Every structure is written in structure tokens, then in C-alpha cells.
């Protein structure tokens, strides 16, 4: 079985494949596409994010150790995941 070794050093196609700055090869800073997409999906999930932040504020004074914001946290991350999942694999090899 022959797996071809593609020469990636001269790739100019595949938009968005690497998150390396195209014009400047000296800076080979690799950005994780998932993190990038999670950041870019934040505006879509503002409502659960605000709910979560409101919860954090609400429980700030609590010392009993029983209060937590897992529900709001899950809602927010579920929203982000739903936004990221369809787009992520297009950015991966």
C-alpha cells in the first residue's frame, strides 16, 4: 500500500486548512481549529453565556459549597458544540 507523501511546504490551496499566516512563513504558529471555531461561535451563544455569567454572580457569595452553575455551563457549551461540530472537520486534514 502506497501512501503518498504530499509536499505541504508549497501548499497554497485549501483555504482555512492551516491557521498559519499565509504571507509570513517565518511565523509557523499553529492554531487549533477547534479553539478558533469555539471563539467564533461565541456571538451565536450569547444568551446562554449571559445566563452562565449571571449564575456565577449569583453564587459568588455562597460558602455552603452546594451551589454550582453546571446547568448553565452545559447549556452554553451545548450551544457552542452544536455550532462548531458541522464546521470543524472541514478545517482538518
Partner 1 sequence: MQHTVSTWNTHFLSFIVLLIRSFPQSSPSPISSLHSPRVDLVQSVNQMVGGGVIQQILRRKLHSQSAATPVLSWFASKKVHEDAAGSSGVRALALLGAGVTGLLSFSTVASADEAEHGLACPDYPWPHDGILSSYDHASIRRGHQVYQQVCASCHSMSLISYRDLVGVAYTEEEAKAMAAEIEVVDGPNDEGEMFTRPGKLSDRLPQPYANESAARFANGGAYPPDLSLITKARHNGQNYVFALLTGYRDPPAGISIREGLHYNPYFPGGAIAMPKMLNDEAVEYEDGVPATEAQMGKDVVSFLSWAAEPEMEERKLMGFKWIFLLSLALLQAAYYRRLKWSVLKSRKLVLDVVN
Secondary-structure breakdown of the chain: helix, strand, coil percentages, each rounded to the nearest 5:
55, 0, 45
Residue 85 binds to partner 1 (criterion: CB under 8 A): yes
Torsion, CA 51, CA 55, CA 56, CA 60, rounded to 10:
160
Sites for partner 1 among residues 48-77 (CB under 8 A)? 52, 55-56, 59-60, 62, 65-75, 77
Length of the chain: 93
Going by C-alpha positions, the residue among 73, 69, 19 that lies closest to residue 45 is 73
* Residue 54: CB minimum distance to partner 1, A: 11
Judged by CB, which is closer to partner 1: 8, or 46? Answer: 8
Sites for partner 1 among residues 9-48 (CB under 8 A)? 9, 18, 20, 30-35
**The one among 14, 39, 40, 81 contacting partner 1 by CB under 8 A:** 81
Amino acid at each position: 500500500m502506497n501512501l503518498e507523501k504530499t509536499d505541504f511546504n508549497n501548499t497554497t490551496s485549501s483555504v482555512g486548512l492551516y491557521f498559519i499566516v499565509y504571507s509570513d512563513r517565518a511565523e509557523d504558529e499553529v492554531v487549533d481549529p477547534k479553539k478558533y471555531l469555539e471563539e467564533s461561535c461565541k456571538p451565536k451563544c450569547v444568551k446562554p453565556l449571559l445566563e452562565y455569567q449571571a449564575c456565577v454572580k449569583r453564587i459568588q457569595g455562597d460558602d455552603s459549597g452546594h451551589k454550582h452553575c453546571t446547568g448553565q455551563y452545559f447549556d452554553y457549551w451545548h450551544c457552542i458544540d452544536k455550532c462548531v461540530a458541522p464546521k470543524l472537520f472541514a478545517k482538518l486534514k
